[in-house]
Amino acid sequence: MRFHWGWIEPVMPVPYVPTLGPARWGDPLHGLLEAVVENAGTGRFLLHDKDRRWAATKTERVLADAIEHDQEQTLIPTYAERGRGVVKVHVYGAALSAAADLARKLAAVHGAARARVVWFLGPDQPDAYARGTRVQLKDFAMGPGAAPGVPVQEYKELPADAGFDVFADQMAEDGFAFLYDQMRAGAVGPVLTVLHDGRVASAIGPMETMTDASGAARLLPQYFGVLPFHRGRGYGRALWRAAMHWGHQHGAAYQLLQTEVGGASDRLCIAEGLSSLGFVNQADV
């Protein structure tokens, strides 16, 4: 599949590539779009795919034969194997109704349990219009930012009775049970923590970088959470700042995050001066 970049660029308000996620303006977006199509169905990860640290095979693919691409709009459907299957149609343009029809049709063809439409809004749009996540950019050319306000320790430095296992269990819905399994297997980078009365109250990690398609080092997204009864103490902000210092010290050029609009992480990133690249919206159809 060959994309006409002159058709897509005017209707791409957010630099986002199906199956890969957000990118930066200035990244080789045209080449990335073609690469994910060429890679579809192989089960292989592209070298710059952040998800390759978690699995041996790629479980989401572009449905290349069903792409619709013209001067007015581009619809790029994907199929993810998780759960009972999810079909997503990514809309570049204004064709939400056509995308919903295509998503339902492809879900039936592939036996997927869910059909979904993904569309994008630029950063100048009001938050009230968003139904999903905000893409946020931390540019380390501006430095790491303020220092943490409370002590931060790496997991490997914790005393044996610090209770990371209990923290991970209590924060399982935020992904920490899965992360703890990876930590015990020695499969991930450092995890930063804040203690309260000697017990883990919050954590962020793993701290890892990956070279992107343009050759720059990218600080990868982390699991990030504070126990509910310890929120409001500044622990999350301290961890965030410690993570940014780690990224800066380890040569990262930037970090991209997707934060739930209006959520705690979203408000923190805005307060810490990250730049909004726009919104990624999703709805089941």
The tens digit of pLDDT for each residue in 215-241 reads: 999 999 999 999 999 999 999 999 999
> What is the signed CA dihedral for 148, 239, 265, 213, rounded to 10 degrees?
100
Record the tokens describing residue 63, joined without a space: 């449905």
Are residues 60 and 112 in contact, defined by beta-carbon separation less than 8 angstroms? Answer: no
90/132 Cα distance (integer angstroms): 14
Which residues, in sequence order, are CB contacts of 72 under 8 Å at separation 6+? Answer: 11, 93, 95
Q: Give the bridge partners for 76, in sequence order.
A: 90
Quick one: which of 119, 145, 113, 148 has its CA closest to 132? Answer: 119
**pLDDT level of residue 94 (50, 70, 90 thresholds):** confident
Helix, strand, coil tally for the chain in percent (to 5): 35, 30, 40
pLDDT tens for 168-181 read 999 999 999 999 99
Query: How many CB atoms sit inside 10 A of residue 183's CB?
Result: 20
Are residues 257 and 135 in contact, defined by beta-carbon separation less than 8 angstroms? Answer: yes
The pLDDT of residue 279 is 98
Average pLDDT of span 104-123: 98
Strand (E) or helix (H) holding 211:
strand 209-211
208/217 Cα distance (integer angstroms): 10
Query: Is it the case that residue 1 has pLDDT exceeding 80?
Result: no
152/164 Cα distance (integer angstroms): 14
pLDDT tens for 20-71 read 999 999 999 999 999 999 999 999 999 999 999 999 999 999 999 999 999 9
The model's pTM is 0.94
Q: Residue 274 has what DSSP assignment?
A: P
Q: Please name each of the domains of the chain with its CATH number.
A: 5-121 (no CATH), 137-278 (3.40.630.30)
The pLDDT of residue 190 is 97
279/268 Cα distance (integer angstroms): 17
